[in-house]
Amino acid sequence: MTPGQKQGGPSVRTIPEGEDRERLVCPDCGYIAYENPKIVVGSVTTWEDGRILLCRRAIEPRRGFWTLPAGYMELGEASAAGAAREAWEEARARIEIDCLLAVYDIPRISQVQLIFRARLLSPAIEPGPESVEVGLFAWDDIPWSQLAFPSVVWSLNEHRARLGQRDFPPGGNPPDPVHGL
């Protein structure tokens, strides 16, 4: 059984007795899955010359598009350590976390993203299993039309706005021109 082929499990949305909102319940064994928002940890990582580490995705969603090294935080992990682990897994990059660059809320998919600013400790990078290609990009060479997610664009802009600064508040979601968020 691979992760994509789950059998059974919680699949029915219903309000369990004594609760006030819908949960996913397994029709076979009655198990209630308490779904929680997920934490994504990632980094804008730069080499000494300022070039930024990007990874081209080998997996869906947005396969073939470029992204920052980032992924779901694991159990028992601290957030900065998780961001460093993701850089290793996706780009075989050894990095040193500098500070928290941004915190993004993506309520549509129930994610909170913690994006750190980090330094690449060695330019020796190569694709991990979830990347088809990795690279270091100067600002003008970033493949802007092929970035995987809006929060990649937000993170890159936040990084640029904070170049040379220290002790700043993390960036947040940009104003939503439609909903005035």
* Of the residues 13, 18, 60, 61, which one makes contact with its own copies according to CB under 8 A: 18
Name the segment binding its own copies (CB under 8 A); options: 13-21, 90-98, 140-148, 152-160. 13-21
State the binding partner of 3 from Zn ion, its own copies, none, CB within 5 to 8 A by kind: its own copies
Q: Please tell me whether residue 29 binds Zn ion under the rule CB under 5 A.
A: yes
3-state SS, residue 74: coil
Is residue 107 part of the contact set for its own copies (CB under 8 A)? yes
Question: What is d(CA 151, CA 170) in angstroms, rounded to the nearest whole number?
Answer: 14
Beta bridge partners, 124, equal none
Distances (CA, A) of 164 to 42, 88, 117, 160, 167: 20, 25, 12, 9, 11
Binding status of residue 28 toward Zn ion by CB under 5 A: yes
Cis ω on the peptide bond leading into residue 61 (within 30° of 0)? yes
User: How many residues line the site for Zn ion (CB under 5 A)?
Assistant: 4
| Pick 7 or 165: Cβ nearer Zn ion | 7
